[in-house]
Amino acid sequence: MGREPDYLAYLRARLAAEPPAGRKGITQIRDEHAADLATLPRPPVEVVEDLTIDGPAGPLPARLYRPAAAPSPSPALVYFHGGGWVLGDVESYDPVARALTLACGITLISVGYRRPPEHPYPAPVDDAAAAVRWTTAHAGRHGIDPARIGVAGDSAGGQLAAAAAWRLRGDQAPALQLLVYPAVDLRTVPPDLPDPDGLEFPRGGLARILELYLHGTDRTLPEVSPLLVPDPHTLPPTIIATAEHDRLRPQAERYAQRLTRAGVDTTLITGTGLDHGFLGWGSYARRPAEAVAEIGAAVHARLTRRR
């Protein structure tokens, strides 16, 4: 189906403001990505506190968010931002983290993991798993319930969250994995989907990005392509949110189907009429705001449910 008028108008304006294409260095691309995210509103959250997490190769920056309505002790999400593994950091994704925190009504810790090309796989996954372990070990100090800590991520961060959930399965398993338009099959670059409104999105050089991230790693490894995990029944309850016009949607749907068939409590939130990246767009149009609220309600219900 086509996009709703207010949302379509926002997307057209967004695409018109895209920086010109051309050959660019990694620093310039990172700066442009951060500048784009800086235009997003930063809704107020009662508690915002910068943290330092013990990572496997040194300290990692992190930021804790807690809304006024959070229970005490609070469930929590350990969140890994998107940006194609190469882009983004805690500061640039602050608007997205705030929106997700308020929607979920619980504590969120946004983690700045190491990025390629400086730090290819497995460094980002190592950092993600270490961040979950650190949060569990320090839960009491930060008003968090250690039994109700989930992992979350959008886009590339969804791949990291799913990989961390796989690595930590068993005694260290998170209570939930929230994956928003995640990349869960890195074997090949997925094809574009037909666009009902004739919009043309930048290709983004995904093939090159995957090369930078994986650096020759076997793409069928479960930590690389979580869709291929051999025993999905060991994974935690899962919430997957997709976007209808996102080329990652088919693989996310296949992952949801595979988890469901394995008996994992799985919720699929279909982002009808939406595009990759909508998590930060709720202030600009009704449809993304509805989807963010639906994601938040599902997370809150799962992590505040009485055992």
Could you confirm whether 155 is annotated as catalytic? Answer: yes
Q: Which helix (H) or strand (E) holds 153?
A: strand 144-154
Q: Active site residue: 81, 245, 276, 300, which one?
A: 276
Helix (H, G, I), strand (E, B) or coil at 149: strand
User: What CA–CA distance (Å, rounded) separates 268 from 239?
Assistant: 6
Could you confirm whether 276 is annotated as catalytic? Answer: yes
Q: What are phi and psi of 188, to 5 degrees?
A: -145, 165
- Alpha helices by DSSP H, listed for the chain, are 5-16, 26-37, 94-104, 123-137, 156-167, 206-214, 249-261, 286-303
Q: Active site residue: 74, 110, 155, 225, which one?
A: 155
Q: Please say whether the beta carbons of 303 and 71 come within 8 A.
A: no
Region of 198 on the Ramachandran plot (φ > 0 left; ψ -120 to 50 alpha; else beta): left
Q: Active site residue: 126, 127, 145, 246, which one?
A: 246
Could you confirm whether 195 is annotated as catalytic? Answer: no
Structure tokens at 190: 């997925």
Point out the residues that are catalytic: 155, 246, 276
